[in-house]
Structures are given as structure tokens and as C-alpha cells.
Structure 1
Amino acid sequence: MNLSSYEGPRNGDYVAYVDQLMRASPEYRRTLRSIDGAIQTAVVTPGSQGASPMSQLRNGLQKARDMAEQAQQMQGARSTAGGRAVQRPAAARRQDAAVTKQEAQQRFKTMEREIEAQKAGTGRKPWVSPGSLALIVGGVILSQFIQGFGVLLALMGLMSAVGGVLRRLQGR
């Protein structure tokens, strides 16, 4: 390394300096393009499985970004009337940008809720929990040897099963 042409990091920011050096490398750019291509082919490749929550989120975010860009383009088209530029106050432009950001955030939250609802829908809970059934069966078996304790376990399991069914019915 030629020390006379050496440019060190500005203000001791070594991370930014190393990142800048890496981004200047053609191998780094080539690697990023190949990773991007692999991700795109993995997303495009059809499969028998449904879309994962991450891919659903990615698609939803892409749609939201496209919609926000279209809204900005439409606002830009509105601001130029008849080929001449109409000057709008900066506060009004910022307010329009804030509205689009709010709309994008709202859409993002809606998509998150939909994905969470889909996740919750896939994990169906049984009407009677396995723990309740184990207590009932264990209590019946133990009642043959230790009558009081076995009956107590069976009653606890039965009460737990009835409570689970009632909770399930109240939830509907």
C-alpha cells in the first residue's frame, strides 16, 4: 500500500470506510447481483407450498411501495396543469407526503394483521386439551390402585375438559 495516497476513515468511522471500500470492489457488486438473482428465482419458482409469511409481507410491502409511487406521480401530474408548473407551498407538499406516508403505514399495519390472522388460523386448538385427557385416563387407571387419588385426578381432568369446551364456546 502506498502510504502517500492512503486515505483513512473520516472522523474515525472505520465501519463506513470499510463499507465504502467493499462497495467499490467489483467482486462485491457481482456477489450482490448473484444473491439478488438467487432470491428472485427462489421467489418466482413455483412450489406446492403456500407463500410463507415473509414472502407475503414482502409482496405486500412491494404493492404498498408501488401504490405510494403511483400516488406521488399522480400528485406530480396534478401539480403541473396544462404543461406549466404550478407552485404549491412547501407546507402543502409536505402535508401531501405525510398523508401518503400515513396511508402506507396504515396499509402496512393492515397487511401485518392479515398475516397474523392467517398464522393464527393455521394453528387450530382442539376442543379438549391433551392434558385434560391425560388426567382423566391417568385418574381412571390410578383409581384401580389408589381410589381416592385416582378419582380426584379424573375429576380434575373432567373439570379442565369442561372448562376448555366452555371457553371455546364463549369465543365463538
Structure 2
Amino acid sequence: MELSHINEEGRAKMVDISEKTDTVREATAFGSISMKEETLKRISEGEIKKGDVLAVAQVAGIMGAKNTPNIIPMCHSIFMSGCDIKFQLDFDNNKVDIYATAKTIGKTGIEMEAITAVSCAAITIYDMCKAIDKDMVINNIMLIKKTGGKSGTFERKVDK
């Protein structure tokens, strides 16, 4: 199998996508952050001293998606037509589930932007709550769905 990110000298390269056609592409990623019961309660009641945890995590996730090519070396700079993040507070398992969906019309996928959005949102939740809960754990960051492009649709059942 030929690796597309390796040149003839065996070194990393950015893949040339100039011959690809533009298609509508969408990707959704998932991740979660587990925490103490009290931490989740304080997030839900807006009692974290640093502010509204989920509002800040929402903005951080979107900013992360927009900056993906700045932190992932071989990731193309692409026009992102949309990005949204949804949070589900799971009081049975003391965690916040994070879903990020990113969309573009272009020559290459948007999976990395969705995954980066989830990662940045989770890290932000950790940062805002670490003073009261250093035991938080970020879990299961993964692509759960992508559409568009030559490879078509991919969908995974999320086993949280």
C-alpha cells in the first residue's frame, strides 16, 4: 500500500488535492470527559468560578476546528462552512458527552476539524474545572460519521 503523505525520499509531504472535485462534506466526532459527581452538578448549575463552562467550551471547540491546519502538520487549510458543538450531561455516569459537526464544500474532508473541535472542547472543560477536580478523564475521541468525497459515507455506532 502506498502512503499518500510520504514522498519518494521517505519524508512527510502534504497530499496534492488539486485534481479532486469539490463536494459537500460533513463530519461528526464524539468524545467525553468523566468527572466527579459534584463537578458535573456544579457545571450544570453554573457554579464554576471561571464562568459558564459549556459556553466557553463551545467557543473553544469552534476555534479549535478553525485552527486545525495550524496544529495538525499535514492538514489542508480548508473553508469551513459551519461548525456546531452539542453537549449532553450524563448524570448516571458523571460525564459530559461532546458531539461536534463540521461542514465544508471542498476537495478534502473535514474529519480532522470535527475531531479537533471535540478535543478542544474537552480540554477546555478540564481547564475550567481542574481547580476542583484533577481526576477528570477525557475519553473516546473518535469520528462517528463522515459524508462526501470519493470514499463516501462512514458511520460508526458509538459505544459510550
TM-score range, shorter chain: under 0.3
* Higher relative contact order, chain-length normalized (CA < 8 Å, sep 6+): 2
TM-score normalised over the length of structure 2: 0.26
Which protein has the larger Cα radius of gyration, Structure 1 or Structure 2? Answer: 1
Higher share of residues assigned helix: 1
